[in-house]
Structures are given as C-alpha cells and as structure tokens.
Structure 1
Amino acid sequence: MRLVEGGLREQHKAQRRIRILEATRELLRDSPESAISTERIAERAQVAPATVYNLIGPRDKIWEALADGFMDELERRLAELGAVAPREVVSSTVQLFVDDPVVSRRMVREWEQSGLVLDRSPLTQLRQAMADARTQGLLRADIDTDALASVVGTSCVGALHQWVAALIDDERFLARALLALDVALAAAAADPYRDQLLAPLRTRDTV
C-alpha cells in the first residue's frame, strides 16, 4: 500500500511540474519581455508559490528546467527518426529552437549556464552519428569523433546565441550550424568520400 501511495505522490508531483513549466511557457509567449515571477507562474499553473519553488527551484532553475524540456523534446524527435546522420541531428536541433522562438530566446538569454544548453542533447546523438560515419568509412579511422562532435556543438551554441541576439535570422541560424558541421566532416573525410563531403562547402553561399 505504501509503495502505491508513494508512486501516486510521485505521479502527482510530475504532473504539477509539467503544469508549472507549461504555465511558464504560456506566460512567456503572452508577454515575451515581461518579468517572470514565482507568483505569476503559480497563479497560471494553479498551484501555491511554494510548490513552484519546491518542484522547480529558484529563478535560474526555472530556465534550466525549460532547457531540459527542450532537450527532452529533441530526444523524442530524434528517437522518432531512428538512426540519424549528423546533418539530421543538427537540423533537428535548430528547428526545435526556431519552432518556439519566444521561449527559447528568453531561456538562452536568462539562464546563466545557457552555454551548456546543447551538452546533453544533441551532443550525445551527434557523437553517435559521427562514430557511425567513421564505422561506415565516411570519416578517417584515426578521427576522434567525440572531439569532432564537441567542436560542432560549440559552433552551434555560438550560432544559437547570435540568433537569440537577433544578429541572424532563422535561415542563417541553420546555415551557420550546418556550415560548422560540413567543415568538420570535410576535414575528417576518408579519401574515397573527400569530394562528397567537400561538395556542400564548394556550393555554399557565404553565411
């Protein structure tokens, strides 16, 4: 009986947490530049302010929780695609942020550790996709694919921050993220695939 009660309590906590985060997203979309307070979130989510603090934490934890939500959604999208190539990982990541620009821009601007936003996903999936490309012979056998993925991830974070600051639009956000990927792949290409992996760079417009 206690196990059942404990399980129900955890379910109710999870449901309230989901409601709190969705309420936060709604407030941001309604008023993109307004201050987000625990009280406003609690009122929208129909919970006590203490519940917001207990289930999410202080202000910076709210942005971190929103970032986790983005990564959960990215993992879901990539899982639906099945085994994905590096380009699909990068494209899906950019599309995720572009799909919810108000929330993603505020989250990146406000979260002190936003440089870590891509560390969990898509970096894990990108590492696997790079390793698969090496196994398939597309990349040289001596390439450290984890390091290669990290370089691409760092470049994508830079493009994300430029997009958040409105220095580039959606199209250029994607183009710059893919440029970083294409440069990395071309530099690591195995000889039989060098021309194939260099082709996107030869035909690319300046971004």
Structure 2
Amino acid sequence: MEPEGVHTATGGLRERHKARRRSRILDATRELLRESPESVISTERIAERAEVSPATVYNLVGPREKIWEALAVAFTEELEGRLAARRAGGPREVVRSTVQLFVGDPVVSRRMVRGWQESGLVLDRGPLVHLRRAMADARAGGLLRADVDPDALAAVVSASCAGALHQWVAALIDDDRFLARALFAVDVALAAAAADSHRDELLAPLRSRGTA
C-alpha cells in the first residue's frame, strides 16, 4: 500500500497531466477554428492537432457538442483572472475588459457563442458577478444613491451588453461599436443611479459622446 503522501502526489501529478492535455485540446480547437472559421470541427481533427487520441478528447472534454461549453468555461476563467486583477477600475472596467476579451479572439468568440446553446451563461458566470460587486462598491463609496439595488442595476447592464454581444456575433456591428454600446449601457445605468454629489461626474461620459 502506498503511503498517503505518495498517493496524494501521484493524484496531483495525474490531474496536472489531464489539465495539460485538456489545454492542448482547447488550443487545437482554437487553431482549427482560426484556420477555417466555418468548418465542422470533428473530434478526430481536434485529436490529430492536439496529438492525443479521440478517446482522450471525449474523456477530457466530452462529445463534439461539448467543445463549445469547454471553450466557454476557459473563456470565463480567463475573464475571471482579468477582472480580479482590475477590480479597482469599477463597473466600466468590468464591461471594457469583457468586451476586449471577446474581440481579442473574434473567430473563436463568435463560434463559441453561436455553437453553445447556453452561451448567455458566459456573461452570467463571470462579468455579472464582478459587475454586481463593482456596483455595490460604487454604492458603498457614495457614487450611487443608497436606495439603489446594485444587483438589479448590474442585471440591466448585463442584458444590454448581451444584446450588443449578439449583434457583434452576427456581424451587425463592429468591434468599436460593440464596445461603445456596452459602455453606453453602463454609463446610462450609473448616471440614472448617481448620488446627487456625483451626478455631474457620472453624466459627463454621456454628455461627451453620442449614443453610438
């Protein structure tokens, strides 16, 4: 029987190997999408590019339709890291960082959103959590009125950003317009909920630009 420490170390090494292979699988999928954006991505093609067996793809990711969910999870984890590092930026930084991550890899982002039936959860799992926190911080700091519900405010902004995201995915708006509409949504929400002493400050972004 292996000592407990050896068993734990072996298990940890096994999990790291699995994580590395899963990362290779997702990287291979992204590469294939960038090379041929509208192609059908089969388990066999992914396995060949990742230099693993199709069974490994199935075991670590799941059937082909699950690849979109796996990409979304990886996207959310990357976004979580960015938002955690930029928390001091407030609600606008949450929105800006989210949009920048989408447009930073447009082919993969668009296919991920189109391919995953529950793609709206990308926004719920990462940005919405941080947006709620940022709104609560803004209220606690006196920027927003004390009677404002930060969760409701964040939900309104998230819904507007989701609409802009799907317009961008459908190529109805470009990257700049996507960002402008998302920031406009958060600016409108902040201005509407502004404390009297910060009203002019939070109205300034709206006064300095159009509605995009």
TM-score band w.r.t. shorter chain: over 0.9
Distance across 2 between alignment mates of 1:12 and 1:188: 49
Query: Are residues 1:163 and 2:168 paired?
Result: yes
1:150 is matched with which residue? Answer: 155
* Aligned with 1:188 (options 178, 188, 193): 193
Q: In structure 2, which of residues 119, 127, 132 is the aligned counterpart of residue 122 of structure 1?
A: 127
Report the TM-score, using the length of structure 2 for normalisation: 0.94
Q: 1:60–1:112: 8 Å Cα contact kept in structure 2?
A: no
TM-score normalised over the length of structure 1: 0.96
Code of the residue aligned with 2:176 in structure 1: it is E
AA aligned opposite 1:11:
R
In terms of mean alpha carbon deviation, does 111-120 or 159-168 score higher? 111-120
- Opposite residue 145 of structure 1, the aligned amino acid is P
1:109 to 107, 114, 123: 114
Contact kept, 8 Å, 1:86 with 1:130, in 2: the verdict is yes
Q: Distance in 2 between matches of 1:114 and 1:71?
A: 11
2:57 and 2:167 map into 1 onto residues whose CA distance is: 31
Distance 1:102 1:28 in 2: 7
Deviation (angstroms), 1:203:
2.4
Amino acid at match of 1:198: L
* 1:106-165 deviations in Å (ceiling 9; x for gaps): 111111111221111111111111111001101011111011111111111110110010
1:82 Cα deviation after fit = 4.5
3-state SS, counterpart of residue 117 of structure 1 = helix
4+ long deviations beyond 4 Å: none
**SS of equivalent to 2:134:** helix
Structure 2 CA distance for aligned equivalents of residues 72 and 3 of structure 1: 25
**1:31-180, aligned counterparts within 5 Å?**
31-180=36-185
Query: What's the counterpart of residue 3 of structure 2?
Result: none
- Structure 2 alignment gaps of length 5 or more: 1-5
Contact 1:67–1:107, Cα closer than 8 Å, also in 2? yes
Unaligned runs of 5+ in 1: none
Letter in structure 2 aligned against 1:27: L
Q: Tell me the equivalent position of 2:35.
A: 30
Percent of residue pairs bearing the same amino acid type: 75
Greater Cα shift, 80-89 or 12-21: 80-89
In terms of mean alpha carbon deviation, does 69-78 or 166-175 score higher? 69-78
Aligned match of 1:199: 204
Superimposed CA distance per residue, residues 53-96 of structure 1 (whole angstroms, 9 cap, x where no aligned partner): 11111223211111111111112222333523111111111111
1:7 aligns to what SS in structure 2? helix
**Length, aligned pairs only:** 207
Give the aligned residue type for 1:48. Answer: S
